[in-house]
Amino acid sequence: MQQLLDLDEPTLAVYRALLRRPEDHVREPESPQVRQALARLVAAGLVRRRPDTGGHVAERPDSVTSRALAEEQRALDARQEQLARARREITDLVELYVTGLTHSAAPVEVERIETIPALEARLDELAAGATHELLTIGVTASYRPEDVPALRARDQRSWARGARSRTIYPASIRDADHLMAYALEGSAVADEYRVLERPPMTLVVIDRRVGVIPLEQAHLDRGAHVVWSPSIVAAFVQLFELAWDAAEPLFSASLRAEGDPLSPRDRRLLELLAAGIQDEAVSRQLGVGLRTVRRDAARLMEELGAGTRFQAGVEAARRGWL
């Protein structure tokens, strides 16, 4: 509710106090902090001022939050339409550009790759040369558990060159344990992950100088265009940033339930275990004994109803605790 209504905790504390006595009202308080809080609550529609007494009474919270939720939904729909329009415009732009190249002697700025081995080799080559950032929408959502080691090896080569990633997944990633664990490990290195219910397109941009999009958006396995044209790559980046702003963090603090049972050490322990770090290394990083690591890992697995440490980390991430 705090985030939904854009109110700080002291203001919400005043509102909660008013809710505890709905039949009563509060006259003009002496405290300037309380007066400011009441003014914000009146502006938000959560409190009204009684003209007869000059006091303040609380409004029903559900009536106000339902309006706020409706406004948030309208804003979300508008962002999705903006993304869809941007995708259509960019797709048309690429098609026109590729068509134009076939009728001119201009330098080739678009490569067409039609086989999966060739595409994977080209992505490896481009990612390995990244020195700044990789922007991705949707691509890794198609990876199977057996693909993750090669994907992580590619990431490590990029990390070694100082590049970091921002990735937008479809929201369904939260049901894929291997991808949740993959993202959890990457986030510990400073990569960032967000989710959208309906990502606008499949896209990779390397260092804002080259982009990769499928020949057919729904079928990455049918080949891709590698685009070097600065104007089109700039459009790709713009689309990515629009999608990034509309997406929510994969590991969102707002998803955490009240009374989050994880201590900072428990949270870090789960991150390390889910990333496959060995007990001895975990012990050194946390500065605790090996027996403590194993005892705490067993306790957390039981609390999360997980059969393995990997599952415990993924389940904690899925609950929004990490």
**What is the reported pTM?**
0.54
Highest mean pLDDT among 34-43, 87-96, 116-125, 259-268: 116-125
> What does the pLDDT average to over 90-114?
61
Write down the H helix ranges in the chain: 2-5, 9-19, 32-44, 61-102, 116-128, 148-160, 177-188, 230-246, 264-274, 279-286, 290-304, 309-318
Which residues, 6 or more positions from 12, have their beta carbon under 8 angstroms from its beta carbon?
Answer: 1, 2
> What does the pLDDT average to over 255-280?
69
Rounded to the nearest integer, the mean pLDDT of the chain is 75
Pick from 250, 251, 249, 287: nearest CA to 269: 287
Q: What is the pLDDT of residue 104?
A: 47
Highest mean pLDDT among 30-44, 156-170, 177-191: 156-170
Q: Concatenated DSSP letters for 78-109?
A: HHHHHHHHHHHHHHHHHHHHHHHHHTS-PPP-
39-53, 92-106, 147-161 — which is least confidently predicted? 92-106
CB-based contact 7:44 (threshold 8 Å): yes
Say if residue 311's pLDDT is above 90.
no
pLDDT, tens digit, 9 for 90 and up, residues 230-246: 888 888 898 888 888 88
pLDDT, tens digit, 9 for 90 and up, residues 114-135: 888 888 888 888 887 888 999 9
Say if residue 73's pLDDT is above 80.
no
138-152, 163-177, 222-236 — which is least confidently predicted? 138-152
> What does the pLDDT average to over 206-222?
80
Domain boundaries, the chain: 2-59, 70-249, 254-318
Confidence of residue 57 (pLDDT cuts 50, 70, 90): confident
Confidence of residue 177 (pLDDT cuts 50, 70, 90): confident
One of 3.60.21.10, 3.30.870.10, 3.30.1060.10, 3.40.50.300 is the CATH number of 70-249, namely: 3.30.870.10
CB-based contact 237:85 (threshold 8 Å): no
**Fold held by 254-318:** Arc Repressor Mutant, subunit A (1.10.10)
Q: What is the pLDDT of residue 160?
A: 84
